[in-house]
């Protein structure tokens, strides 16, 4: 890590922009803002799959692979994906990549039919 006195002007501008962004995100979003900033700096993504417990994690992983590839153009390893069983889903699953989501649950269909 460089000493701040040894930084060039462009490097200082990038550092100042990062500090302002971190401060802004931290104030507005709290812990979530700090997590988002960390992912932004490292370039990593947050993969989450919510599924109905009777569906099973293995079946959810098989379906999630297709959704990750077709909808998000990425193919994460199984270890990178966080799986969450949700009783309230009434079947199906939801696939998240950062703040983007694909809903493949029966709850969505049920809501559409009620309208």
Is the pTM of the predicted complex or chain greater than 0.75?
no
Local confidence pLDDT in tens for the 115 residues of the chain? 668 888 899 999 999 999 999 999 999 999 988 988 998 888 888 999 999 888 889 988 998 999 999 999 999 999 999 999 988 877 788 999 988 899 887 766 666 666 6
pLDDT at 112: 63
pLDDT at 3: 82
Report the alpha-carbon distance of residue 56 to residue 64 in Å, rounded: 12
Nearest to 72 by CA among 98, 40, 109, 92: 98
β-strands 47-51, 92-97 pairing: antiparallel
pLDDT at 55: 84
Instruction: Write the DSSP assignment of 36-102 as a string of letters.
Output: HHHHHHHT---EEEEE-GGG-HHHHHHHHHHHHHHHHS----GGGEEEEE-GGG-SEEEEEETTEEE
């Amino acid at each position: 890590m460089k000493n701040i006195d040894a930084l060039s002007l462009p490097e200082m501008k990038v550092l100042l922009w990062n500090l302002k962004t971190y401060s802004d995100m931290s104030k507005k979003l709290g812990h979530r803002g700090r997590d988002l900033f960390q992912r932004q700096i490292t370039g990593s993504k947050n993969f989450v799959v919510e599924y109905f417990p009777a569906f099973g994690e293995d079946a959810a992983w098989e379906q999630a692979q297709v959704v990750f590839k077709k909808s998000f153009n990425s193919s994460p390893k199984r270890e990178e994906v966080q799986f969450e069983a949700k009783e309230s889903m009434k079947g199906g699953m939801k696939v998240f990549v950062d703040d983007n989501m694909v809903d493949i649950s029966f709850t969505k269909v049920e809501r559409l039919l009620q309208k």
